[in-house]
Structures are given as structure tokens and as C-alpha cells.
Structure 1
Amino acid sequence: MEVKTHRGTGPLQQVIEIGAHRILTDVSRELGGEDSGPEPHDILAAALAACTTLTVTLYARRKGWPLEEIKVAIKHGQEGSAYALHREIEYVGQLSEEEKARLTDIANKCPVHKTLSGTIAITTEAR
């Protein structure tokens, strides 16, 4: 899958193209944008939250566990020399403590969590 970006209509707005999907990203008015979309770090945090909910939901369904809903909140920002992502998970349903613990283990294995926790190599080619 290839992700592309190009300038949007605002002074700093960018259009993200992912296949047939379009997402706007921008920055706050204080930074010179129009706040017409989430900032890039918010999209990164959203990817972790969405991956967590999808991965855990699929696992619980496969096990037949009574997970009615999963709510994930990500607080994120620079903390010293590291960019920190703090994830809070709420499981809704009649789950045992053991099932919740296992679902948390599965959350820590979602593909985006594994990517962000591993070694990331970024190469740049300028034209």
C-alpha cells in the first residue's frame, strides 16, 4: 500500500491519499494552519488506537468471549527525548479478569503496536 500526500486548500493543510480514501491533516491556528484536520501525531495515535480495537475485537470474537465494546484512549506527546504514547483500554462486557489480562496481552501484539515498539527504518529519496 502506498500513502501519498499533497497540499490541500489551507495554508498548511495536507490531503493524505490511501487508496480510494482521503484524510485531511492540518495544524492549529496558533501554528498557522486552519485546524481543518488532525495533526500528523494525532493520526499516528489514532492508528494505534484503531489497530488495538480491531485486533482485540477479532481475538475476542474468535474465542467467543462476551466483549461488547472496547474503548481505547491514547495520550501522546514529547516526554524528554522520547515521544510517548500512553494507551488506556476499557473493556465493556462480562469478562473475567483473566480474559481482560489476555486481551491486554493481545493489544500489545497488534501490528501497529509491534511496529512502533520495534526498529523502524525510514529511507528518503528526493527528486
Structure 2
Amino acid sequence: MERPEPGTVIVTATGDGRYTQKVTTATHELLVDEPVQVGGADAGPNPYELLLASLGSCTAITLRMYADRKQIPLRKATIRLRHDRIHARDCEKCETESGMLSRITREIELEGDLDDEQRAKLMLIADKCPVHRTLSAEIAIETHETAR
């Protein structure tokens, strides 16, 4: 299997299951699949779980980097995430006014001998993680077919 250059991801069917995909990066491989109840083999997390994992891990890493740099006694951050769909009219902060939209709920548990000011600052920093910024911004996805 071809290894992509850093920053590129290759996704290809494994042939082992109806929806099972192998994700290959420059240095890692993992499986992605759908649950059995929708016809998958449950050989790995589903695409939305990976999306949540990206946001959660980026949040935790950003908090760790900031705490280390500012010498804040953060022992551990645990991030719990959930994705669902809501009616746009039920979203106070959203530009979309009709139809359905995606909502990600993120809960952050901070452990350590932190004062109120440090906790507040860490919660602000959580929204500055690069994946959060990417998901919150307009995204242009360009799709091209490559030659065989």
C-alpha cells in the first residue's frame, strides 16, 4: 500500500466488509466502518466518531500545550463529545434560520489544582484549537476525479 506524504490521507475499501475502509496516513493506519445495525461490520469507529475524535483530541492537546506554556497545573483534560441534528430555529447563535443543522456538544472536564481564573482561561482556549476553528469556519471542499 502506498504511503502518502505527511498531511495527506488515503481512504480505500478493505474488501473485508461492505463499508469497511482503511485510512492510511504517512505513519499510521486505522479502520473506519459503520455499525452492524446499518450493514457495516463495526470494524472501527464510524466517520462521525472520527470527526468527534478529531475535535476532542485537538481540544485536549491545545489545552495541554497552553497549560504547559503558561505553567498552569492542569493534570488532565477529559473531553466528551456528541453529534446530533437540530432544527435551525432552535439554535440561538446560528446563521442558518431554517431546516436542520449539525450540532456538536462538547463537555470538558479539567483536573488539577486550578483556580477559577485558570479554569475560565482554559475554557476560552478550548475554542481556539485548530480543528474547532476549521469546523466553525466556512470550508471549501474541492472534489476531482483522478486518472486511473
With normalisation by structure 1, the TM-score equals 0.96
Q: Which has the higher Rg, Structure 1 or Structure 2? A: 2
How much identity, in percent, do the aligned residues show?
A: 38
Structure 1: 5+ residue stretches without partners: none
* Structure 1 equivalent of residue 101 of structure 2: 82
Alignment match of 1:53 (pick from 55, 60, 63): 60
Aligned AA (2:22) = V
Q: CA deviation at 1:83?
A: 1.1
Equivalent residue pairs, number: 127
Deviations 1:40-63 (A, max 9, x none): 011000000000000001100111
Aligned AA (2:52) = A
Q: CA deviation at 1:34?
A: 0.7
4+ runs deviating over 6 angstroms:
none
Using the alignment, how far apart are the partners of 2:43 and 2:84 within structure 1?
Answer: 20
Q: CA deviation at 1:79?
A: 2.0
Alignment match of 1:43 (pick from 46, 50, 55): 50
Q: Secondary structure at the match of 1:27?
A: coil
* Structure 1 equivalent of residue 116 of structure 2: 97
Using the alignment, how far apart are the partners of 2:85 and 2:8 within structure 1?
Answer: 28
Using the alignment, how far apart are the partners of 2:86 and 2:42 within structure 1?
Answer: 24
**Structure 1 residues 1-127: aligned runs within 5 Å:** 1-8=7-14, 9-80=16-87, 81-127=100-146
Using the alignment, how far apart are the partners of 2:67 and 2:35 within structure 1?
Answer: 38
Over the aligned positions, Cα root-mean-square deviation in angstroms equals: 0.9
